[in-house]
Structure 1
Amino acid sequence: MTTSDRPWMDESLNDRERAEKLVENMTLEQKIAQLHGGMTTIDIYAMTNEVHSEEDMEQLAAQINVERHVKPLAELGIPRFRITNGPVGVGMGDGNDAPHATALPMTIGVAASFDTELASKYGDIIGQETADAGQHVLEGPAVNLHRTVTAGRNFEYFSEDPYLSGAMGVAVATSIQNHDIIAMGKHYAVNDQEYERFRTNVELDEQTLRELYLLPFEMLVKDAQIAAMMSAYNRVRGTYATENRYLLNDVLRHDWGFEGYVQSDFWSTRSAAASLNAGLDHEMPDAKWLNEDNVKSALQDTSLEIELVDRALVRRFTQMFRFNHFTTEYNPVDIDGEKHGRIAREIGAQMAVLLKNDEKMLPLSKDAGSVLIVGQEKFAKYACQGGGGSSKVKPIYMVDPEPGMHDVIAELGGSAEVSSFIVDTDLANLDQATEAAARADVVVVMAGLIATEGADSASMLLPNEQNDMVAKLLEANANTVVVLKSSAPTVMPWLDDAATVLEVWNQGVEDGHVVADLLFGAVNPSGKVPTTYPRTEQDWLGHGHPERYPGTDEGEGYNTIRYSEGLEMGYRWFQANGVAPRFAFGHGLSYTDFELSDVVVDGSADGVKVSATLTNTGDVAGAEVIQVYLGIPSDGQPPKRLVGFQKVSVEPGASEKVELDIDASATHHPLGVWDVVAHDFVVPSGEFTVYVGTSSEDDRNVSAFTV
C-alpha cells in the first residue's frame, strides 16, 4: 500500500502527526481493541490473595499464562505489540513463553555500584536482549524507594535515596531505549510495599511526595525522555493510582511535560471512564474494563468523551512510531548469553559491598589450603538468582558457587582446594556442618535473602534460621568469611563475632565466578550501601508506628499507610532521630586505602562546585566513591541529602583530581525545597552546609555557603 492509502506511514510527518493520522482512520471498534492487552480476563484479585511466599508467586505466574501483547490490526498495519517484564533482565515475554535470557544481578546492586556507567551497561544488556527477543516494551526501570527494609520488591528498586535511584534509573532507561525499545518507569507512585498492594491507600504531604517519592520519576521524564510509565496498584490519597488525575495528568504531563503513555500495572485498572479521564492510556493485560461494552456505554452517557479515547491511542502510537515499531519485522534471534554473561560478571563484581574486613582476611590467598563453602542450598549450592514474581528471568546458564570458585582459582594459578557442605533449611545437620567447618583452613559461609513480588518479608532477619547457622559457624572456625546474597539489607545479630562480611546481593547468572573473583582479589570490591542497614528490627521509622506500616483501617475497609515521618526516611531518618545504623548509607570498604585531600567547595544559589584529590595509599588498584551531601536551611529538612557522587578508580600510590559540578537547576533540585504556594522547587535563603566524603556519616570535610 502507498502512503495515500495509509497516510500515517508518511515518514515526512513527525511521530505525533503520524499517530494522529492513524487514529483518524480507525473505527470505534478498532480503537477500543487497541486500548487493552490481548489476554482473556481472569480473576487476578482472588488469585493474588493466595500469594504469601516466593513459591506462591511462582505458581501464580505459571497459572496466569499471561499473553503480554496487544492484538495486531493487519488492515491498518498495526503490529502485534509485544511487552516483556523487567527490570532485572528479560522476564515474562509475550505469550508467557519468555526466552532464556541473562539473569542479571538485582537492581539494588546497580545502585550499590554508585556508577552510572555501570548502570548504562546493565541497561544495554536488557535493551539488546529485549530487541533480540522481538519485543517492543521492557517494563522497567522501577524507581520506587526503599522506605521499608522488608518491602518485597526492594530487589528490583534501586535505593532509599531519590537522587541515586533517579540517576541510575535514567542511565538504565536511556540504554534500553537506545535499542528502539520502549522503557517503562514503574510503579507510579508510592507503591513502596507489597502488603495489601491491591487495596492499600497511601497518605503523604505534598512536600514529601515531591522531594522524595516522585523525584526519580521526574528525572526519568526529563533526563531520559522515557516513553512510558506504569501506574501502580495502590490508592494515593484515597484514589487509585490508575484513576488519579493529579498524578497522571497534572504532575506527569503539565508539571513535567511527559509525552509518553501510561500503562496500568497488570490488573490495576479499576474503571473505564474514570481511568481514561484521569490519564490512563492502556490497560494490561486484558480488557476487564476497557472493553467494548464499558467504553461504548461511557461514551453514550457522556462520562467519557471520544477525544480521550483518541488521546490515549495517539500517545501510545506516537511512541511506537518514535521507535520504529510499525516498520520493524518480528524476527527474534538467539540471545548472546556468553557475551552478556561476561559483562554480567564484570558489572556484578563492581556492585559488591565490603561491609567489614577488620582483620584483613580478604582477599584470600589463591593457595589458601582447604576452603569450605557452607550454607543452605539456595545460597551455597546453587547460583543465587533473586527476584521472585513477574520479573523472574529464565537463565541461559548459571554458574554455581563451588564450580565458579574452582574456575577462578584455576584462572589465578592457585592450589586452594574447594568443597561444600549444604546445611538443611531446618538446621538438622548443623552439628555436622560445624564439625566440617572446624577442619577447614578457610570457611566461606554463604547466606542470604531472596525476596519476591507480592509479599513483604516477615522480618528483617535472614529466613530459615540462617542467623543461628552463621553464629554457630563463626564459633567453629576463626578463619570464616560471611558472604551475604541478599535482596535487601538485613539485621545481623552475629555481626560482632564476624570480622569479615561481604554483601554481593542476588547475583544471577555469574554468581559463582563473581563471588570468587571478589574473595580471591581478582576484583577489588567498590560498592557502597544503597539502603541503610539497621542494627535491630526496632531501628527503623515504622517501629511503634503501625500507621506508617503496615497501616491501619480507618473505617473504610482497607488499610491506610501514612508517611507521617515526612522527609525523614532512610538515612535521613537515622540522622534526624540520632539512631546509629549498623552500616550507613554510602558505606563500603576496599582492599586498599584512600585519602581525600585538598577539598575545595564553591557554593551559591546557582549550585555547588567541589574539587578534591583522591589518593590510593595502599598497594592495590581500587575505586572509591566521592559523595556530596547538603544540609538545607529550611524548616523540616533532615540533616543531609545526597546531591552528587562520582566513582573514581585510582592505581596504587597514585592520585586523581575529582571535580563535581552540582547545578541547582538539575532535575533532582539539589538545593531546592518544594514550595506549595509557588507550586515549584525554590532555593531557600540561609546557610547551606556541604559535606564531602565517602559515606553519609563522613563529616571530615564540612564547609558552608550562604544564599
Structure 2
Amino acid sequence: MKQTASTFTGLTDMTVPNDIAKLVAQLSLEEKASLLSGKNFWETMDIPRLGISSLFLADGPHGIRKQQAAADHLGLNVSVPATCFPTAATIANSWDVKLVEQMGKYLGVEARSLGVNVLLGPGINIKRNPLCGRNFEYYSEDPYLTGKLAAALVRGIQSEGVAACVKHYAVNNQETNRMAINAIVDERALREIYLTAFEMVVKEGAVQTLMTAYNRINGVYANEHSYLLRQILREEWGFTGLVVTDWGGSNDRIDGLLASSDLEMPGTNGESDRELVAAVQSGRVAESYLDESVSRLLYLAKNTSRIPENNHEISFDVRAHHEVARHIAEESIVLLKNQGNLLPLQKGQRVAIIGDFARSPRYQGAGSSNVNPTQISTLLGAAQQAGIQLVGFEPGYERYGKRNQSLQKRAINLAKKADVVLLCIGLDEASEAEGLDRPHMRLPDNQIELLGALQSVNPALVVILSCGCAVEMPWIGTVPAVLHAYLSGQAGAEAIVNIITGKVNPSGKLAETYPLRYEEVPSATLFPGKEATAEYRESLFVGYRYFDRFPEKVLFPFGYGLSYTSFSYRDLQISEEGVSFVIQNTGRWDGKEIAQLYVRKKASSLFRPEKELKGFIKVFIKAGEEQRVFIPFDEYTFRVFDVLNKTWSVEEGEYEILVGASSRDIRLRGNWYKKGHMVLSPCDPASLISYYTGDPARVSREEFQYLMEAPLPSDRWDRTRSLSYNDTVAQCQYAKSCFARLVFHIIDFLPPFFRKIGMRNQANLIMMSFYYMPFRGITKMMGGMVNRAMAEGLLVIANGHFFKGIKHIVKEYIKLRKAGYAKYRT
C-alpha cells in the first residue's frame, strides 16, 4: 500500500536554525531533489551558488576506509592509510564503556584529519546466529551490552565534530540474499532484541545519522518502513538526524522519502532526483517532505567539521594511535582455558611458534570495513622484541586449507625441541566477509590435523585463535591453554605477546555464547533464509537467553573469561537505585574483573528468558584488595514490551537479582519486588508451549504463525511467475529464458571453481556482487550507467524475450548517452 503525506514531527517541526531555513527557501525543487542522493559513490551533492558543500561519507566501524581512487563498497580498492583498531566483535569482549568511547575519539580525530563528515559505523545488529558472515563487525548477541558500547563509540566519534552513522536498521542478521530477504519476526523480539540497541544509541549516544538495512521486515523494505522509521525512530525515540540508505539499498525512492528516509547513496546520476521532482509535480508527494529531509541534511553539514584534505595542519599521531589500538586489544582478548597455569610463559622457557598467522596475522574482516593499516605487528616479530626464547618458527599449514604434509612434518619436528608451543590458528580472510555467511562453525581441517599431531609430541600447547566469531572446539579437551584474540587490529600481535608473557593480565570476557556444536544453536535449522523469508521462530531466545535453559549445550557461556588472578563476591545490597556488592581480588596478580547484573522475573504471564543482562562494570583491583562497586538500574532493567497495548511496561511482581562473573557463574542472589502493571499475553500460553516451557529451537511453523497472529508468507520463491525488479540474479535459475538460466548456471559454477583453484576472494566477490543482487541493485550500484529502463530490458530477456530485451536495452542506452547521464554528475 502506498503511503501518503502526513504531518511530520521531526526537525522541521522543531526550531530550525534561521540560516538553514533561509537556505532551504532559496533552493529550487530540482536542487532539493539533487541534495537527497549522492553526487558520486561517497559524496553528497554540492550547490556552489549557495555555498553548500558536499559531505563525505566513509566506511569505518574500526578504522577509516577512505578510498584514494576508484570507489567500491566491498573493500577491494586501496584506501588511505588509517589505524586499524580491533573490530566490534573484539572490543565487545572488553565490556569497557570508557575504553570504547576513547576509541571513538581516536576514530573521530582520524576521520576529521582525512576530511570525512560521516563515519559509517558502528554496526550493531544482533548476533542471532554464529554463522553470519558479518558477525566480526557486530558487538554481541545481547542488545543491552551492544547498545551501551555502541553509544559510547558514537559519543567518542562525535566529540570530534564527525557524525557517526549507526547501522543496519533493522533485523539485518544474515548476509545471504541480504538485499531481498524478508525477515519474519514477532513484535516482542523486534522490540526487545533487535531494536533496543538502536534505541540506546539514539537516546544515550545522540547519534546524528542512521543507515537503513537492505532487507525487508515483515514484508516491508527497511528503507521504506514507516513503522520503524517514522513511528518508532522519530516519534517514539525522538531521532532528528539524517537517515541514509545502505549503498544501493533504496527500493522505492518515493516510499522511502514518505517513510522518513532522507539520503539515497550512492548517486544514480539524477534518476532518483527526477523521480522525486515528478512525484512533487504530480501531487503524490508534498514538497514539504523534501524540505524536511534537506533541512536534516544541511543541519548535519552545519554540525560536522569537515577539514579539507590539503590542510596539513590537521593530522594524527600515527604511533600514539597504534599504541591505543594495542591497549584496546589487551583489554579485549579472552583467555578461554589455562590448565595447570601454562600461561603466562615462564622466563627461560624454550618456545616454538607455529602457524602461518604468526607471520601474516588475521587482524580484521573482509568487505566494506576493510582498513588499510598504518602499520602491522606480527606475533613472530613481537615475540622476538619481547625477548621470548624462541627455538624457531614454522608455518605448519597452508592458509586456505590445503593439506601439506611437508609443512606439518617440519612443525612437528620443531615442536619436539620446545618447552612450550604457541600454535596460531583461526579462519582465513575469505571465511569472514561481508556479503556471504559461513557454511559451518569449524576451523579448517588441515589446522585441526596439525593441532592433533603437535599435541601428541608436545602436550604444552597454547592455541592462539584469530577469528571474529564463535567456532567449534571438539579438540579443546586435549589442549591445556586457549587464548582467543578475535580480530584484534593492527597492534593485536603485540597485545597477545604482552598477555602470554604476563606483562598484561587478561581481562576480556565473551560477548557471545560458544555452543558445543552448531546444531545446538536455536536458529540452526532456519539459518540462513535462502529464498523468500528468514523466520525468526526462536523469538526472544537468542544466545544465552536460549542456552541458559540448556546448560549441556554450551562450551563457553556468555560473559565468560579467565584471568591470571581470582575474584570473590560478597555482600549484595539492593535498592531502588541499583545494586552494590564487594569484589575481592583473592589471587596474586593485580587484575580487572567484569561483574555482570542479570534480572529474572520469578512468575510471569509472558514467556521470558531465564535471565537477561541489565548492567555490568569493569573494575581494577590490586592483589589482596577489595572494592565495593555499584551497578545502577535504568529504564531498561525491568521493562517488557506490552504487545496488547503497543507500549513498554513494567510487569509488577518479584524479580530475582543475579550478580555474577558470567551468565552461568552467578555469585550473588537477591529478591526485589517491583511495582508496575499487569501485562497480558495476546496469545494463549497453551498454544505456545515451546516458548513457555519447551525448546524454542523446535517451534513449528504453525506455532510461530500463532505467535505472529498473521498468516506466514511462503518461504520459497514463486517459480511460476515472471521475474520482477526486486528479484535476484539467483532466481534466474527458474527463468523462462534459456539464456538467463545459462547465465545463472555459469555464475553458480564459478564460486566453487574459484575456491577449488585457490581464488577464494574472487569466489566471494561473485557471490557478493552478482549471485544475490536484485535487478534493482544493478541500477542502484552502477552510478547511473544502468538505469531502471535498462534493468527492465534485462528482465525482458530473463522472462523469455531475448531480442526484444536487447532492443530495449540498446534504445535506452542511446537515450542515456544523449542525455548525458552516462557518468557521475560533477
TM-score grouping bracket, smaller chain normalisation = 0.7 to 0.9
8 Å contact from structure 1 (residues 467, 492) kept in 2: no
Residue from 642, 650, 666 that aligns with 1:683: 650
Q: Is 1:515 aligned to 2:485, yes or no?
A: no
Residue from 380, 399, 411 that aligns with 1:402: 380
Change (3 A) 1:329 1:401: closer
Instruction: Quote the Cα distance in structure 1 between the aligned partners of 2:608 and 2:646.
Output: 18
The offset of 1:404, in angstroms, is: 1.0
SS at match of 2:555: coil
2:613 is matched with 642
1:385 is matched with 363
2:466 is matched with 485
The offset of 1:281, in angstroms, is: 0.1
8 Å contact from structure 2 (residues 124, 166) kept in 1: yes
The offset of 1:380, in angstroms, is: 2.2
Instruction: Quote the Cα distance in structure 2 between the aligned partners of 1:617 and 1:416.
Output: 33
SS at match of 2:377: coil
The offset of 1:201, in angstroms, is: 0.5
Q: Is 1:706 aligned to 2:673, yes or no?
A: yes
Over the matched positions of the two proteins, sequence identity in percent amounts to 33
2:121 is matched with 140
Q: Deviations over 1:570-592 (max 9, x none)?
A: 10111134543100000011001
1:447 is matched with 425
Listed as ranges, the gaps of 5+ residues in structure 2 are 1-13, 72-77, 675-826
Alignment of 1:657-672 (within 5 A): 657-663=628-634, 665=635, 669-672=636-639
1:117 is matched with 98
2:580 is matched with 611
Amino acid at match of 2:448: N
2:544 is matched with 571
2:59 is matched with 85
1:184 is matched with 165
2:215 is matched with 234
Instruction: Quote the Cα distance in structure 2 between the aligned partners of 1:535 and 1:176.
Output: 38
Q: Deviations over 1:398-444 (max 9, x none)?
A: 011101111122xxxx6555534342231312233222222222110
Change (3 A) 1:176 1:15: farther
Instruction: Quote the Cα distance in structure 1 between the aligned partners of 2:360 and 2:189.
Output: 42
SS at match of 1:171: helix
Change (3 A) 1:206 1:94: farther
Alignment of 1:453-464 (within 5 A): 453-463=434-444
Amino acid at match of 2:35: Q
Residue from 497, 503, 516 that aligns with 1:535: 516
8 Å contact from structure 1 (residues 597, 613) kept in 2: yes
Amino acid at match of 2:607: G
Instruction: Quote the Cα distance in structure 1 between the aligned partners of 2:65 and 2:562.
Output: 33
Q: Deviations over 1:159-218 (max 9, x none)?
A: 000000000000000000001001001000011111110111001111111111100000
Q: Is 1:674 aligned to 2:641, yes or no?
A: yes
The offset of 1:288, in angstroms, is: 6.7
SS at match of 1:202: strand
The offset of 1:299, in angstroms, is: 1.9
The offset of 1:458, in angstroms, is: 1.2
Q: Is 1:260 aligned to 2:231, yes or no?
A: no
Amino acid at match of 2:584: T
1:476 is matched with 457
2:231 is matched with 250
Q: Deviations over 1:311-343 (max 9, x none)?
A: 111112112212355x98873644422110011
SS at match of 2:147: helix
Q: Which has a greater percent of helix?
A: 2
- TM-score, with normalisation over the residues of structure 2? 0.76
Q: Is 1:427 aligned to 2:428, yes or no?
A: no
Q: Deviations over 1:658-680 (max 9, x none)?
A: 111213x3xxx110000123322
Q: Is 1:524 aligned to 2:505, yes or no?
A: yes
Give the number of equivalent residue pairs. 644
Q: Deviations over 1:206-243 (max 9, x none)?
A: 11111111000000111111101000000111111111
The offset of 1:22, in angstroms, is: 1.3
8 Å contact from structure 2 (residues 246, 265) kept in 1: yes
The offset of 1:650, in angstroms, is: 0.7
Instruction: Quote the Cα distance in structure 1 between the aligned partners of 2:616 and 2:68.
Output: 38
2:589 is matched with 620
2:42 is matched with 68
Amino acid at match of 1:243: E
2:252 is matched with 271
Q: Which has a greater percent of strand?
A: 1
Residue from 541, 562, 566 that aligns with 1:593: 566
Instruction: Quote the Cα distance in structure 1 between the aligned partners of 2:21 and 2:162.
Output: 21
8 Å contact from structure 2 (residues 392, 414) kept in 1: no
2:721 is matched with none
Change (3 A) 1:15 1:499: farther
2:324 is matched with 343
Amino acid at match of 2:352: L
The offset of 1:396, in angstroms, is: 0.8
Q: Is 1:374 aligned to 2:346, yes or no?
A: no
Amino acid at match of 1:467: I
Change (3 A) 1:467 1:19: farther
Q: Deviations over 1:677-701 (max 9, x none)?
A: 3322111012101111110002332
8 Å contact from structure 2 (residues 582, 629) kept in 1: yes
Instruction: Quote the Cα distance in structure 1 between the aligned partners of 2:255 and 2:669.
Output: 51
Change (3 A) 1:302 1:288: farther
8 Å contact from structure 1 (residues 92, 392) kept in 2: no
8 Å contact from structure 1 (residues 15, 319) kept in 2: no
Change (3 A) 1:14 1:245: closer
SS at match of 1:100: coil
8 Å contact from structure 2 (residues 128, 523) kept in 1: no
SS at match of 1:689: strand
Amino acid at match of 1:472: A
8 Å contact from structure 1 (residues 270, 289) kept in 2: no
Change (3 A) 1:317 1:328: farther
SS at match of 1:110: helix
Alignment of 1:154-303 (within 5 A): 154-287=135-268, 291-303=272-284
1:50 is matched with none
2:529 is matched with 551
Alignment of 1:45-64 (within 5 A): none
Instruction: Quote the Cα distance in structure 1 between the aligned partners of 2:271 and 2:208.
Output: 22
Instruction: Quote the Cα distance in structure 1 between the aligned partners of 2:467 and 2:523.
Output: 21
Change (3 A) 1:349 1:290: farther
Residue from 625, 631, 638 that aligns with 1:654: 625
SS at match of 1:101: coil
SS at match of 2:667: coil
Amino acid at match of 2:647: D
Instruction: Quote the Cα distance in structure 1 between the aligned partners of 2:669 and 2:138.
Output: 31
Instruction: Quote the Cα distance in structure 2 between the aligned partners of 1:364 and 1:566.
Output: 45
SS at match of 1:20: helix
2:303 is matched with 322
8 Å contact from structure 2 (residues 396, 408) kept in 1: no
2:677 is matched with none
8 Å contact from structure 1 (residues 134, 331) kept in 2: no
